[in-house]
């Protein structure tokens, strides 16, 4: 068996699909049914708007300070079409403007403004630290390396394409845990400077499944992330003038 096929089996990334905890898998041949997004209550919606107004200018100031060549014009928006599990992510528009996107489920799940602020700070931190670009570079490098290995081992064109896809997936995982921890640290500072308590904000880790410390996991253990937040808060409060 050629090397890239061995890697595909070993890493379990060929045709693998993660299903959120508690979600039911559709029966074979049965199409997955989309869940209608549940709109936030008025109280939750007002909390989201209030937190966004507080976090946005602080995140932009941090961005200009730490990454002055980056587009720091954040736009915080709600995804009213995503009816899945609580989710937030960051992406760029074609013009390069950073967008922080939150679905209804996450807004409804937030117990308080501190949790919502911590998540917003975390997502903004991914952009400030340039994680999206780094991940894309890692994916391209992984794709090229595995495709070349497959070619050297005599793979045909279809197998080389498969190897390239697998390599991209593996490459995208490189440093992903480090990226999450970096975003937690900077997100903690952003939420602190915006007037929130990230120690309370990080309590939402206690309500989500712990990914553990898997070799190819995308997120670090929850306990490690909580400890980092607490340590960052202590260090921040010891800095003169803060």
Q: Is 168 a member of any domain?
A: no
How would DSSP label each residue in the chain? --HHHHHHHHHT-SS-----TTPPPPPTTPPPPPPPP-PPPHHHHHHHHHHHHHHHHHHHHHHHHH-TTS----EEEEESS--SSS-EEEEE-TT--EEEEEEHHHHHH--SHHHHHHHHHHHHHHHHTTHHHHHHHHHHHHHHHHHHHHHHTT--HHHHHHHHHHHHHHHHHTTHHHHHHHHHHHHHHHHHHTT--HHHHGGGGGGS---TT-TT-SS--HHHHHHHHHHHHHHHHHSTT-
Q: Is 195 a member of any domain?
A: yes
Supply the pTM of this predicted model.
0.73
Q: Is 68 a member of any domain?
A: yes
**Structurally, how many domains does the chain consist of?**
1
Q: Is 75 a member of any domain?
A: yes
Q: Is 157 a member of any domain?
A: no
Q: Is 196 a member of any domain?
A: yes
Predicted local distance difference test score (pLDDT) of residue 159 = 72
Residues of the chain with pLDDT under 50: 1-28, 215-216
- What's the domain range around 206? 42-133+174-238
């Amino acid at each position: 068996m050629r090397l890239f096929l061995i890697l595909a089996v070993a890493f379990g990334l060929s045709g693998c699909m993660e299903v959120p905890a508690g979600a039911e898998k559709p029966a074979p041949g049965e199409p997955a049914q989309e869940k209608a997004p549940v709109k936030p209550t008025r109280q939750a919606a007002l909390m989201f708007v209030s937190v966004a107004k507080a976090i946005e200018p602080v995140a932009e100031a941090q961005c200009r300070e730490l990454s002055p060549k980056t587009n720091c014009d954040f736009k915080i928006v709600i995804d009213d079409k995503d009816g899945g599990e609580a989710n937030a992510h960051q992406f760029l528009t074609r013009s390069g403007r950073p967008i922080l996107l939150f679905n209804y489920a996450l807004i409804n799940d937030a117990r308080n403004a501190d949790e919502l602020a911590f998540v917003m700070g975390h997502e903004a931190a991914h952009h400030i630290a340039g994680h999206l670009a780094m991940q894309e570079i890692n994916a391209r490098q992984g794709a090229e390396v595995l495709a070349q290995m497959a070619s050297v081992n005599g793979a045909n064109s279809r197998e080389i394409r498969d190897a390239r896809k697998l390599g991209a997936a593996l490459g995208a995982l490189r440093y992903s845990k480090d990226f999450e921890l970096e975003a937690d640290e900077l997100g903690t500072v952003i939420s602190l400077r915006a007037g929130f308590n990230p120690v309370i904000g990080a309590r939402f880790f206690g309500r989500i499944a712990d990914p553990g410390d898997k070799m190819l996991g995308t997120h670090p253990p929850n306990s490690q992330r909580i400890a980092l937040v607490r340590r960052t808060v202590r260090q921040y409060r010891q800095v003169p003038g803060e």
